[in-house]
């Protein structure tokens, strides 16, 4: 008798592969939803039992046309391959399939799951991997069980799918052991071209330019940019320590062009800090996430960056950047001195002075509002403080009410008085310039929330920020005219704050101790084990140790004897169908030691003669099922009926 294949089980690896691909963040939600359409169409065809075999050629021709059109769109070979695999998987699910086509489906699911390895290697990836391999093991077991069923006589039991979770868990444990013991190999498997693949305009995040025109509302972006781990958790509660990290400087924009700001070729490149720490220097470990531009946001008063894992270089806009593209989180020890926060630049050349005081012709509103908010002749520090204080009374919003105006900055100043940080920083920089004060816009980050569950500050793309630097007496001074932003949850997503904090802490620990587990960690772990073994001392008496070993040996012998003399297959305790009847009679008439199922059932018939005929039929059904001569389920149905007949029975003196 051939086993009927569980065709719905073949859908599971493909849907899990789609979930893993969609969770990588490499594709926009709309694109991920379109990838699921072929799988949903295949499930619909199977549910409605439509026969599409006569249309096979037309469907294959349509798939070829889609592939050629997708290839001509210029979205990249990798993305085209993913789209094509999903389309072919849906086509294979919709058409009739035999054993070779079933294996093709599993192979497509495996290839699609491999593409998810291009995304972040977080704990969510491990969960998807375990789920996918469990589904694949179930499909393989189902297919091999069906092949074996065709060569077996008699009833075919269902495949033991209940063992699949145990197999996968065992494989995960073996894999974890090999992961810890094998030599380390550091491979960057995520192509640098994929970094920032989902960086659409209008999302919060660090940028090396600023443009106020043609932009809609700013969408939240909870992607982590960096984490800052203080040397001691107690420092997080020190207001002065947190204030020294309030603004993390990324890149300076000195050219005012139309409605935006750009980097200038004349901005001096920042030299790599390598001098000795001053007595007031602070230290922390910065964990930088991969970014498409490779800019390192760092605190003011930067002193030293000892031994970065990847070489650094001074980039445009006075920024520090990675010399090579990075594909994983990198830790850097940073030293800074808050007392040396102003950036020294003793003199400005005439060319730089002209560029740093230039104002576009269409920004006459900046001149009018500069005089309105800070009238009179004021020195640069007083003028900057006055403008900063006045602008902070306006309203902060990400809705960008002036973004669609012909002159966004003029609309912001004259009408809305509401916008995000780019409007406030751009307005203040131009207000300073029209008064003859050199000023520029800086893009970086605000300090994010303290995650007590992990012991670090988390800075996400939602904390990307713009502020102003003005030049006075040989140094650049920072001024932040943006009002405080409304409070947000720790993660900015749908999870509650506490759950989001725990999830972020788990992700950080995963990245530190799994993704970046190195040979140095292996050596440190081995040394810790050696220290623990050397410090171990036996405190139990020798007699107690001998007694414990003897008990363990006796338990081992008893277990082996139990395995050596198992219960016979005809014992009532080995027949699953008799379980309801055994449970009903466990107090009054339980099976005796060594008693067969037939003998026990006949003994029950002696106690209740009116049930003897039914018990005899049950005994015949149990024997027939044990030797494969009856249809499955007959003995179970008779046993349930017999158990119902014994409900409420109590032994008397006669029976």
378-392 confidence digits (pLDDT tens):
999 999 999 999 999
- Are the C-beta atoms of 206 and 291 separated by less than 8 Å? yes
pTM of the model: 0.63
Q: Both tokens of residue 643?
A: 């158990």
Judged against a pLDDT cut of 80, whether residue 84 lies above it is answered with yes
The CB density around residue 138, as the number of other CB atoms within 10 Å, is 22
What span, in angstroms and rounded, lies between the C-alpha atoms of 618 and 288?
71
526-577 confidence digits (pLDDT tens):
777 777 777 766 555 666 767 788 888 888 777 666 544 444 556 777 777 8
Question: How does residue 644 score in pLDDT terms, banded at 50, 70 and 90?
Answer: confident
Judged against a pLDDT cut of 80, whether residue 525 lies above it is answered with no
Judged against a pLDDT cut of 50, whether residue 613 lies above it is answered with yes
Predicted local confidence at residue 563, as pLDDT: 47
Question: How does residue 519 score in pLDDT terms, banded at 50, 70 and 90?
Answer: low
Nearest to 193 by CA among 78, 330, 116: 78
CA distances from 215 to 98, 248, 563 (A): 53, 25, 74
Phi-psi region of 261 (alpha: psi -120 to 50; beta: other; left: phi over 0): beta
3-class state of residue 468 by DSSP: strand
Inter-axis angle of helices 11-22 and 123-149, nearest 10: 170
- Straight-line distance from the first to the last Cα atom of the chain, in angstroms, rounded to the nearest whole number: 45
Helix (H) or strand (E) run with residue 285 in it: strand 282-288
Question: In this structure, what are the phi and psi dihedrals at residue 133, rounded to the nearest 5 degrees?
Answer: -70, -30
Question: How does residue 483 score in pLDDT terms, banded at 50, 70 and 90?
Answer: very high
Average pLDDT over the chain, rounded to an integer: 82
What span, in angstroms and rounded, lies between the C-alpha atoms of 42 and 420?
46
- Are the C-beta atoms of 429 and 439 separated by less than 8 Å? yes
- Are the C-beta atoms of 99 and 143 separated by less than 8 Å? yes
Predicted local confidence at residue 1, as pLDDT: 37
- Are the C-beta atoms of 198 and 222 separated by less than 8 Å? no
Mean pLDDT of 273-298: 84
3-class state of residue 416 by DSSP: helix
What span, in angstroms and rounded, lies between the C-alpha atoms of 237 and 455?
11
Share of the chain above pLDDT 70, in %: 84
Nearest to 145 by CA among 208, 102, 177: 102
Q: Are strands 319-322 and 464-472 parallel, antiparallel or unpaired?
A: unpaired
Helix (H) or strand (E) run with residue 395 in it: strand 395-396
Predicted local confidence at residue 49, as pLDDT: 87
3-class state of residue 225 by DSSP: strand
Predicted local confidence at residue 560, as pLDDT: 62
Question: How does residue 199 score in pLDDT terms, banded at 50, 70 and 90?
Answer: very low
Predicted local confidence at residue 115, as pLDDT: 85
- Are the C-beta atoms of 293 and 321 separated by less than 8 Å? yes
DSSP 197: T
Domain limits, the chain: 7-181, 210-487, 576-645
> What's the angle, vertex CA 582, arms to CA 576 and CA 588, rounded to 5?
170
Question: How does residue 275 score in pLDDT terms, banded at 50, 70 and 90?
Answer: low
């Amino acid at each position: 008798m051939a086993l009927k294949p569980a065709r719905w089980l073949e859908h599971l690896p493909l849907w899990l592969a789609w979930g893993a691909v969609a969770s990588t963040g490499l594709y926009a939600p709309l694109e991920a939803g379109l990838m699921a359409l072929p799988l949903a169409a295949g499930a619909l065809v199977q549910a409605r039992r439509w026969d599409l075999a006569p249309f096979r050629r037309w469907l294959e021709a349509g798939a070829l046309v889609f592939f050629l059109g997708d290839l001509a769109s210029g979205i990249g070979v990798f993305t085209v391959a993913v789209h094509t695999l999903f389309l072919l998987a849906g086509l294979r699910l919709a058409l009739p399939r035999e054993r070779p086509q079933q294996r093709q489906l599993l192979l497509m699911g495996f290839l699609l799951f491999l593409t998810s390895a291009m995304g972040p290697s977080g704990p969510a990836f491990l969960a998807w991997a375990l789920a996918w391999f469990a589904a694949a093991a179930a499909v393989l077991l189902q297919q091999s069980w069906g092949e074996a069923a065709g060569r077996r006589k008699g009833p075919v039991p269902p495949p033991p799918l209940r063992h699949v979770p145990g197999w996968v868990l065992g494989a995960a444990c073996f894999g974890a052991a090999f992961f810890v013991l094998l030599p380390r190999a550091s491979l960057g498997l995520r192509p640098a071209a994929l970094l920032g693949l989902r960086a659409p305009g209008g999302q919060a995040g660090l940028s090396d330019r600023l443009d106020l025109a043609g932009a809609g509302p700013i969408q939240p972006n909870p992607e982590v940019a960096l984490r800052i781990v203080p040397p001691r958790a107690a420092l997080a509660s020190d207001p002065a320590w947190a204030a020294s990290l309030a603004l993390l400087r990324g890149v300076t924009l000195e050219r005012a062009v139309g409605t935006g700001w750009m980097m200038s070729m004349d901005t001096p490149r920042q030299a790599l800090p390598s001098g000795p720490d001053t007595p007031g220097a602070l230290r922390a470990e910065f964990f930088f996430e991969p970014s498409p531009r490779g800019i390192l946001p760092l605190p003011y008063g930067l002193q030293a960056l000892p031994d970065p894992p990847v070489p650094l270089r001074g980039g445009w806009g006075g920024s520090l950047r990675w010399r090579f593209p990075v594909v994983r989180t990198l830790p850097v020890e940073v030293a800074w001195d808050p007392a040396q926060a102003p950036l020294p630049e003793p003199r400005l050349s005439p060319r730089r002075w002209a560029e740093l005081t230039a104002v576009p012709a269409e920004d006459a509103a900046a001149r009018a509002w500069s005089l309105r908010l800070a009238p009179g002749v004021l020195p640069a520090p007083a003028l900057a403080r006055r403008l900063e204080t006045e602008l902070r009374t306006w309203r902060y919003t990400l809705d960008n009410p002036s973004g669609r105006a012909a002159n966004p900055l003029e609309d912001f100043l004259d009408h809305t008085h509401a916008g995000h940080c780019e409007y406030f920083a751009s307005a203040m920089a131009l207000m300073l310039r029209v008064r003859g004060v050199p000023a520029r816009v800086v893009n970086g980050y605000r300090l994010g929330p303290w995650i007590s569950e992990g012991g670090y500050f988390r800075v996400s793309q939602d904390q990307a920020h713009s502020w102003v630097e003005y030049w006075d007496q040989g140094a650049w001074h920072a001024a932040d005219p943006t009002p405080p932003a409304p409070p947000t949850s720790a993660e900015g997503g749908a999870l509650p704050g506490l759950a989001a904090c725990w999830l972020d802490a788990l992700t950080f620990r995963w990245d530190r101790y799994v993704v970046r587990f190195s040979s140095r960690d292996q050596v440190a772990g081995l040394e810790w084990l050696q220290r623990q073994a050397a410090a171990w001392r036996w405190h139990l008496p020798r007699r107690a140790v001998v007694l414990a070993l003897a008990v363990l040996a006796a338990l081992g012998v008893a277990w082996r004897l139990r395995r050596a003399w198992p219960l016979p297959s005809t014992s009532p305790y080995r027949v699953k169908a008799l379980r309801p009847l055994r449970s009903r009679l466990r107090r009054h008439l339980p099976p005796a030691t060594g008693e067969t199922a037939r003998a026990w059932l006949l003994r029950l018939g002696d106690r209740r003669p009116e049930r003897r005929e039914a018990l005899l039929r049950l005994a015949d059904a149990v024997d027939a099922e044990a030797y494969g001569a009856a249809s499955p389920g007959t003995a179970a149905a008779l046993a349930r009926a017999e158990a119902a007949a014994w409900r409420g029975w109590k032994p008397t003196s006669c029976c």
